[in-house]
Structure 1
Amino acid sequence: MFTIPRWIQQHNNKFQSFAEIPEDKFGEINRRLALHKRSTVVVSILIAAWNEETNILNCISSLSVLETQIPFEIIVINNNSTDKTQQTLDRLDVISLFQPIQGCGPARQLGQEQAKGKYILLADADCIYPPCWLDEMMAVLTKKNVVCVYGRYSFIPEVNYPRWKLFLLERMKDIITEVRHFKRPYLNAYGISMGYIKEFGLKVGYVMYKVWGDDGRICFDLMQYGEVRQVKNNRSRVWTSPRTLHRDGSFSKAMIARVKKELKRLSSMIRPLPPHDTKTSKN
């Protein structure tokens, strides 16, 4: 409630630009990535990156110490970045693709088309992943009749965003997640921590333009092929900065805005959304 896990500090570098990243940092991460090299791939981790020249380093650093025996690959899709994201990727031993069509949907679509794994895990470029993340996600995704899974996430504290306040927000979010999951689990499916079977992901595909909720849309379409499950183990929580809360101006405003939003649509959560075209709809 008041602190963050110690392992996060290893990856939570404070570099402000590509030029500040020391050469030995790339070497350190690449040596760890080399330990995961296998001749076959079971899981493909897809990361859409737009102007994330320093954040992507921290993300890959955390994925380089995943504690797993499952063979995986990391695919980062440079989504038309205008900063030095590509220079960072060129120094890391990951698969790098370029998608000029703006939007996470187009980026993730390209990624899954090039992926070698049977399973897809989605990660965000500005997040830090716990060592158990891949195994915990796969433990649920490989269960009978499951086609898609999603995990939980927490915030790394900053000035004016103390950990205890973020903790309370997260617990409220977890409660809302349980309500949503009853009839509308796709509303909980965020690319920050999500996985699915690639075969079905290719069948339904991502929306091919920039729009909010491409991850939830593909989850909705995947529901025709099986169940959507939640990965609840707190050890597998992904950690990210509270920059999405910054848009509201302050923590209090962010909290109020989210409570109002959830109360407004609470009654609709007990009814499933009818089938519709997710590629053109506004919901």
Structure 2
Amino acid sequence: MNRFNMKVTDYQPYYKATPQSLGNEDLNRLITYFELLDDVQKPVVSLVTPVYRAKATLVAHILSLSNLKTIIPYEVIFVENNADEETLSILEQLGAKVVSEPRQGITYARQKGLEEAKGQIICTMDPDSIYDPYYIDKMALPFFVDKDLVLCYSVSQSYEDDFQLSPKMRLRNKLKLAYFRWKLSQKFTTKIKHIRAVSMAMRRETLLPIGYDTDLRVVSGCDDGMLAIHLHNLGTFKYVNVEVFTALPPEREPGKPFPFCNERFRVPKKALEATMEALEISKVPH
């Protein structure tokens, strides 16, 4: 198998993989990959991947990173955001660079990664995504051509649970690419709703003073659009044609428009039971 030409369907054997389940060749490859990354002193690009519950796709994601083909020095940072033991164990056994963010929420995790990153260019990554071998070159090099460029973005395709692409999924991806590229060609107020964090690259010096809107942790899904809004008046944007495959998002509850469908992450200030109890206590008998 030519690793530099791997298709997303070639990652099927790595779905739900662990270091223990890997063959010696793959295991040594990934351990060596992170050892080599440790020797990079001045990364130009920082790949930042938040992890929470990522054990099913994490090894495949890392393998796709190890297949990146570039001459640009880069670093890979995983931000564990109260991740489960299995996810942490995979990262530890392979020797990945991991930083912790105990405050729950994707925006907190991305902000932590931004603060830890050393590269001039920040690429926001997702642990359920598979990236084009030339992803870094395609996403980062435009910044060195256009000094006014602050954001590169692309459109991700979807895969099924085990990195497979049924005929139905292939058709869905073709329609999605056509639809998103059309939307992204429209005026800013339309474009902004279709930029996704899974495939964004930004200048660190421009991004740092802005940071991530951590108050949006409950309405996850806003962080990418909000960043694009903030970056809009600071420079130019560029669409990049590059392959990224990511897992299908969870189904949304009927009648709850995205992204305001994450009430399960909301921590109530006062439990309903406590409120009702207080109301009962405060009643004055007639």
Structure-2-length-normalised TM-score? 0.75
Which residue is 1:219 aligned to?
A: 228
Q: Take 2:91 and 2:19, find their aligned partners in 1: how far apart are those partners?
A: 13
Q: Aligned pair 1:29/2:30, yes or no?
A: yes
Which residue is 2:88 aligned to?
A: 86
Q: Aligned pair 1:16/2:22, yes or no?
A: no
The match for 2:133 among 126, 131, 134 is 131
Q: Take 2:60 and 2:17, find their aligned partners in 1: how far apart are those partners?
A: 12
Please say if residues 150 and 234 of structure 2, whose CA atoms lie closer than 8 Å, have aligned partners that are also in contact.
yes
Which residue is 2:273 aligned to?
A: none
Which residue is 1:281 aligned to?
A: none
SS in 2 for 1:75: strand
Q: Take 1:53 and 1:168, find their aligned partners in 2: how far apart are those partners?
A: 30
Q: Aligned pair 1:150/2:159, yes or no?
A: no
Query: Deviation of residue 170 (structure 1)?
Result: 2.7
Query: Deviation of residue 136 (structure 1)?
Result: 0.3
For residues 54 and 28 of structure 1, do their structure 2 counterparts lie closer, same or farther at Cα, with a shift above 3 Å needed?
farther
Which residue is 1:112 aligned to?
A: 114
Which residue is 1:271 aligned to?
A: none
RMSD: 2.8
| Equivalent residue letter for 1:173 | F
For residues 94 and 185 of structure 1, do their structure 2 counterparts lie closer, same or farther at Cα, with a shift above 3 Å needed?
farther
Structure-1-length-normalised TM-score? 0.76
Q: Deviations over 1:159-208 (max 9, x none)?
A: 6843223322332222222225x445433331111011111211011112
Q: Take 1:111 and 1:150, find their aligned partners in 2: how far apart are those partners?
A: 19
Which residue is 1:267 aligned to?
A: none
Please say if residues 32 and 65 of structure 1, whose CA atoms lie closer than 8 Å, have aligned partners that are also in contact.
no
Larger Rg: 2
Q: Take 2:147 and 2:191, find their aligned partners in 1: how far apart are those partners?
A: 18
Q: Take 2:6 and 2:41, find their aligned partners in 1: how far apart are those partners?
A: 33
| Equivalent residue letter for 1:227 | T
Which residue is 2:173 aligned to?
A: 166
Q: Take 2:6 and 2:69, find their aligned partners in 1: how far apart are those partners?
A: 16
Query: Deviation of residue 128 (structure 1)?
Result: 0.3
Q: Take 1:190 and 1:93, find their aligned partners in 2: how far apart are those partners?
A: 29
For residues 17 and 83 of structure 1, do their structure 2 counterparts lie closer, same or farther at Cα, with a shift above 3 Å needed?
farther
For residues 16 and 39 of structure 1, do their structure 2 counterparts lie closer, same or farther at Cα, with a shift above 3 Å needed?
closer
Query: Deviation of residue 35 (structure 1)?
Result: 5.0
Q: Aligned pair 1:42/2:44, yes or no?
A: yes
Please say if residues 153 and 238 of structure 1, whose CA atoms lie closer than 8 Å, have aligned partners that are also in contact.
yes
For residues 14 and 221 of structure 1, do their structure 2 counterparts lie closer, same or farther at Cα, with a shift above 3 Å needed?
same
For residues 237 and 57 of structure 1, do their structure 2 counterparts lie closer, same or farther at Cα, with a shift above 3 Å needed?
same
The match for 2:192 among 170, 186, 189 is 186
Q: Deviations over 1:78-125 (max 9, x none)?
A: 111235111111122321011111111100100110111111011111
For residues 186 and 40 of structure 1, do their structure 2 counterparts lie closer, same or farther at Cα, with a shift above 3 Å needed?
same
Alignment: residue pair count: 243
Question: After TM superposition, which residue ranges in structure 1, 4 or more long, deviate above 6 angstroms?
Answer: none
Which residue is 2:263 aligned to?
A: none
Q: Take 1:12 and 1:35, find their aligned partners in 2: how far apart are those partners?
A: 26
Q: Take 1:173 and 1:91, find their aligned partners in 2: how far apart are those partners?
A: 38
Q: Take 1:146 and 1:185, find their aligned partners in 2: how far apart are those partners?
A: 16
Please say if residues 154 and 238 of structure 1, whose CA atoms lie closer than 8 Å, have aligned partners that are also in contact.
yes
For residues 174 and 12 of structure 1, do their structure 2 counterparts lie closer, same or farther at Cα, with a shift above 3 Å needed?
farther
| Equivalent residue letter for 2:208 | L
Kindly report which structure 2 residues correspond to 1:193-204, keeping only aligned pairs within 5 A, or say none: 193-204=199-210
Which residue is 1:278 aligned to?
A: none
Percent sequence identity over matched residues? 25
Any gaps of 5 or more consecutive residues in structure 2?
Answer: 259-286
Please say if residues 64 and 131 of structure 2, whose CA atoms lie closer than 8 Å, have aligned partners that are also in contact.
yes
| Equivalent residue letter for 1:165 | R
Which residue is 1:176 aligned to?
A: 183
| Equivalent residue letter for 1:166 | N
